[in-house]
Chains A and B, each alone.
Chain A
Amino acid sequence: MAEPAAVVKELRDGAFQLAAAGDDAVLDGLAAALDLWRGESGFAARAARTLHAESGQSEAMLRFGLDRMVAAHSREALKRWLTDARVEAARLAAARHPEGEPPVLATLRGPTVVAQILAGNVAGLAVPAALEALLARSAVLLKPASGDPVTAALWLESLRRAAPLLAGAVAVEPWTGGDRKTEDPVFESVDYVVASGGAEMAVSLGRRLHTPHVIYGPRISVGVVGMAWMQAPETWWEEATREIVLWDQAGCLSPRILFVAGDPRRFAARLAEALSGWETRWPARPRTPEEASAIHQFRAPYEMAAPTSAGCVSPGDTTWTVVWDEDPSLDAGPPARVVRVAHRPSRRAMKELLERNRDRVQGVGLAHLARNELDWKRAAAAAEIPWIGPLTSIQAPPAGWRADGRSGLASLLAEGVVAAHNSP
């Protein structure tokens, strides 16, 4: 990357310009940049094409996911995100400094320069990451993941075209993760770090970072399905399996286990049909040998099981897999279009399972629960699951949703208040 100190200095200048901008100017600029992502000649289509060529992921799938993300960030949604986050930030700041004056919400600002270390399992994460920072009037340094080297640069390009003021507060700098020579000066010179990664990274980075930071670790998502799936229309199966195959199941909101009422074997057979259908529209990207091996290893016990207790449905290759059993556990297969269908335990047992694993579960998708849906929502909420929504749109949380269920924008704004409070 370019000299970190110089990059961060430029960003500080950009943040200074941005700090004076009013809400309308920022929201208009962001909305205009996002507009450039729409349509057949838009940036989303370009990103999908390029990523497809680089990773082998389905272009149509990438396009759907990126379009969905852009649609979720309308000007109105951004405004609501900002308004809600300001209220939450004031609450957070008051909790940390009860003796301080209540802040004027419209004047809240985040840390001057934020570094966003992006994960590459889901395409386009650079966009919400930058939106979060820019809404806080923070400049942002985006480190793209090797899994998505495309969208961060395209997002910056769209900002340059539509909102130069905002673009001045964004830098995209790839570097080799773990390269301390590059990384340490970056982390030392920015004011806040947001990183997404696994448990090892969280521990490693948590130890190294002296800068205020938040780190998001790996998690899985599950579905809870009621009896009425037996009468579910074709569209329901389409939509439920679309949420499984989207991002090739690599997202933390990708369902990996479905706990179903009724016969899991029948459910698995029907799910397999639907997954097979998606294979023609959104073909799975080529598996690495490691992934393929993990899939075969995961399938083996199910392929050997007595047909009354467990089973496996799959094509001749590793493109998709459905296994079923009666085990009420969170044992999941590799994230490669591999779904485990399990008999749904009682609501109480499910709540206890989620509570025991609250650090592992990101989202719970609900379906066909009829009158009991609210009770299931409450059970998942009591277990502090960050995202609870319909299974058929579990991967479409609202603008501003963050992996721990809290508002990342509110955290940035609160951090700004605390920093101002602590400054001489």
Chain B
Amino acid sequence: MAFGSAPERPAAVARALRFIRNPEADRFRDAALEVFAYQLERNAPYARFCRSRGVGGAGDVRDWTEIPPVPTAAFRDPGLTTAPGTRTFLTSGTTGGEARRGRHVLPEVDLYRASWEAPFRRHLLPDRPSIRMLCLVPSPETAPESSLGFMMGEAVARFGAPGSGFFLEPGRVRAEALESAVASARGAGEPVLVAGTAHALAVWMEARASGAVGALPAGSRIMDTGGMKGRGPDRPRDEAVARLAAAFGIPGTRVVGEYGMTELCSQFYEPVLAEAAAAPAGRRYVGPPWARARVLDPDTLRPLPAGTPGLLAVWDLANAWTVSAVVTEDLAVEAAEGGFRLLGRATGAELRGCSLATEELLHG
């Protein structure tokens, strides 16, 4: 992480910030094209990437859907930014060493701050102004390079009731302290928001299974960030939700999936709490007005019709300082009612080749 003075905010970035603060006052297409033109001019690696995709200038693009998305691997390049960074968020993967880690280099975090808050409130706190937050993510102090830690640090400061805290330490989940916090909330008749990665939640669930512990207090909710990242089996979403609901004694409709990544400043959520009154239409993720998701043909990276599985790509105005259009390694399908459903990770290609037999032998 590097600190320094924030640069003056260019017009395109200022427009993105205005859009995030007041989405009704602008058109996504126009703002996205202005941000793209700025990024093309100021982000040299991205400009070269666009040229390789046949986009030499901003005039070659007429709609946000034509803005070339970079694969997440592009974020390994520390030069993938439009201005010198004062804050760098790193991806968690360490396979292949430090050079293989993605890094989101931000000149300032105002867009990030502006973008996380409203969707968080809408999807996790539609019914109350604050809540006790039990965070199973790294705290901003212990992991200043974690974008999730940063967001949850901000969330605790903004919406956290007394008793909120971080319960994940390097290498361990503080299960006993978590149970004490739950008991304390229960005693006070207050709900909690448990926020964590799928892996951390699984570790706590395991600890719970071996002890005499009660359900979370009424009105509690869970935000899970999904994905075991290779540390266990990724389960179908419905199954994962059912397991969480059973382990913590809350209805499945109070388990809210969050989809975010270091490379994106905005987050997508399952609108199960926000749309509690609406008829359930199956789990899906929806984004804020300043971020659009499309599902692309894995082969050509061209958009696919709704219902066809492909690679998820996101166009995020909150990424105005770096690259707004990012194609992920996640497989998804666009939901007819809006948003997308995650189908899994598109990783493991290296398993072909001679190592294919590993899979053959172990899994058939």
Partner of A147, one of B52, B329, B347, B360: B360
Q: In chain A between 198 and 234, which residues have their CB closer than 8 angstroms to a CB of chain B?
A: 198-201, 204-205, 216-220
**Considering the chains assembled together, what is the distance between the CA atoms of A303 and B46 in angstroms?**
9
8 Å CB interface, B68-94 against A:
70-74, 76-77, 80
Chain A residues near B354 (CB, 8 Å)?
119, 121, 196-198, 216-219, 250-252, 362, 403
Contact (Cβ within 8 A) B364 A178: yes
Which of B74, B311, B357 is the one whose CB lies under 8 Å from A289?
B311
B349 near A294 with CB under 8 A, answer yes
Q: Are B73 and A198 in contact (CB under 8 A)?
A: no
A78 within 8 A of B: no
For the complex, give the distance between the alpha carbons of A117 and B9 in Å.
62
- Interface residues in A, total, Cβ within 8 A: 61
- B95 partner residues in chain A, CB cutoff 8 A: none
> What are the residues of chain B within 8 A of A290 when measuring CB–CB?
346-349
B331 to chain A, nearest CB (A): 6
Q: A250-B356, A290-B347 are in contact. Are A201 and B70 (CB under 8 A)?
A: no
CB of A293 within 8 A of CB of B347, answer yes
Smallest Cβ distance from B329 to chain A, in angstroms?
5
Give the residue of A145, A175, A362, A403 whose beta carbon is less than 8 angstroms from that of B356. A145
Residue-wise interface mask of B (273-306) relative to A, using a CB-CB cutoff of 8 A (1 in contact, 0 not): 0000000000000000000000000111100000
Is B348 a contact of A119 with CB atoms below 8 Å?
no
In the complex, chain B residues whose CB is within 8 Å of the CB of A201: 357-358, 361-362
- Asked if A293 and B352 make an inter-chain contact with CB atoms under 8 angstroms apart, the answer reads no
Tell me, in angstroms, the Cα distance from A39 to B114 when the chains sit together: 70
Answer whether A287 and B298 are a contact pair too, CB < 8 Å, given A145-B360, A296-B327.
yes
Cα A219 to Cα B46 with chains together (Å): 34
| B182 CB, nearest partner CB in chain A, Å | 38
How far apart are the CA atoms of A119 and B357 in the complex, in Å? 5
Instruction: List, in ascending order, chain A residues with CB within 8 A of B72's CB.
Output: 297
Q: Is the pair A296, B351 in contact by a Cβ cutoff of 8 Å?
A: no
The dominant DSSP class at the B interface is helix
Contact (Cβ within 8 A) B360 A300? no
Q: How far, in Å, is B52 (CB) from chain A's closest CB?
A: 4
Identify which of B70, B331, B348, B357 gathers the most chain A CB atoms within 10 Å of its CB: B357
- In the complex, which residues 199-228 of chain B have their Cβ closer than 8 Å to any Cβ of chain A? none
Contact A289 B327 (CB under 8 A): no
* B361 close to A205 (CB less than 8 A): yes
Give chain A residues whose Cβ lies under 8 Å from the Cβ of B53: 303
| Contact assessment for B357 and A300 in the assembled complex, using a CB-CB cutoff below 8 Å | no
Q: Of the listed stretches A83-91, A153-161, A312-320, A339-347, name the one at the interface; the rest are far from the partner chain.
A: A312-320
Measured between beta carbons, the chain B residues less than 8 angstroms from A199 are 355, 358
Q: Roughly how many angstroms separate A160 CA and B353 CA in the complex, as a whole number?
A: 31
The proximity string for B residues 33-64 relative to A, scoring 1 for CB distances below 8 Å and 0 otherwise, is 00000000000111011001100000000000
Interchain CB contact under 8 A, B299 and A318: yes
- Determine whether the beta carbon of B362 is less than 8 Å from that of A200: yes
- CB contact between A218 and one of B49, B300, B353 (< 8 Å): that residue: B353
Q: Is the CB of A198 within 8 A of B48?
A: no
Closest A residue to B311 by beta carbon equals A293
Task: Look across to chain A and name the residue whose beta carbon is closest to the beta carbon of B44.
Answer: A306
Interface 1/0 per residue, A278-294 and B, CB below 8 Å: 00000000011111111
Interface centre among B300, B311, B360 (most CB of A within 10 A): B360
Q: A197-B358, A304-B48 are in contact. Are A292 and B352 (CB under 8 A)?
A: no
Within 8 Å by CB of A296, from B71, B358, B363, lies B71
Residues of chain A contacted by B46 (CB below 8 angstroms): 304
Choice from A119, A177, A293, A305 contacting B362 with Cβ under 8 Å: A177
* Residues on A with beta carbons closer than 8 Å to the beta carbon of B44: 306
Q: How far is the CA of A307 from the CA of B44 in the complex (A)?
A: 11
The smallest beta-carbon distance between A62 and chain B, in angstroms, is 16
Whether A40 is near chain B, meaning CB under 8 Å from some CB there, is no
Chain A 98-118: CB-based contact to B (< 8 A → 1; otherwise 0): 000000000000000000011
Give A156 Cβ to nearest chain B Cβ, in Å.
19
Q: Are A177 and B80 in contact (CB under 8 A)?
A: no
A220, A298, A335, A362: which has the most chain B beta carbons within 10 Å? A335
What mask results when residues 300 to 320 of chain B are scored 1 for a CB within 8 Å of chain A, else 0? Answer: 110000000111000000000
A219-B354, A304-B74, A335-B352 are contacts. A289–B360 as well, Cβ < 8 Å?
no
On whether the beta carbons of B362 and A121 are closer than 8 Å, the reply is: no
Q: How far is it, in angstroms, between the C-alpha of A200 and the C-alpha of B323 when the chains are bound?
A: 37
CB distance from B228 to the nearest CB of A (A): 17
- What residue in chain B is nearest A311 (Cβ atoms)? B52
**Other-chain residue from A216, A220, A297, A318 in contact with B329 (beta carbon distance below 8 A):** A297
Return the chain A residue nearest B323 by Cβ. A304
- Please judge, given known A-B contacts A290-B346, A291-B352, whether A301 and B298 are in contact too, CB under 8 Å: no
Question: Which residues of A are found within 8 Å of B299, using beta-carbon distances?
Answer: 287, 292, 317-318
- At the interface, yes or no: B359 with Cβ under 8 Å from chain A? yes
Of A146, A219, A316, A336, the residue contacting B349 (CB under 8 A) is A336
Closest beta carbon of chain B to A65's beta carbon, Å: 15
Cβ-defined contact, A121 with B48, below 8 A: no
Is the Cβ of B329 less than 8 Å from the Cβ of A195? no
The reply on B350 being an interface residue by CB < 8 A is: yes
A312→B327 CA distance, assembly (Å): 18
Asked if A118 and B357 sit within 8 Å, CB to CB, the answer is yes
- Which A residues touch B349, using CB under 8 A? 288, 290-291, 293-295, 334, 336
A positions within 8 Å CB-CB of B: 117-121, 145-147, 175-179, 195-201, 204-205, 216-220, 249-252, 254, 287-301, 303-307, 312, 316-318, 334-336, 362, 403
The 7 tightest CB contacts between A and B, nearest first, are A198-B358, A198-B355, A176-B364, A294-B349, A197-B357, A292-B298, A218-B355
A-B pairs with beta carbons under 8 Å apart, 8 shown: A119-B357, A121-B356, A175-B364, A197-B355, A218-B355, A303-B53, A304-B45, A335-B350
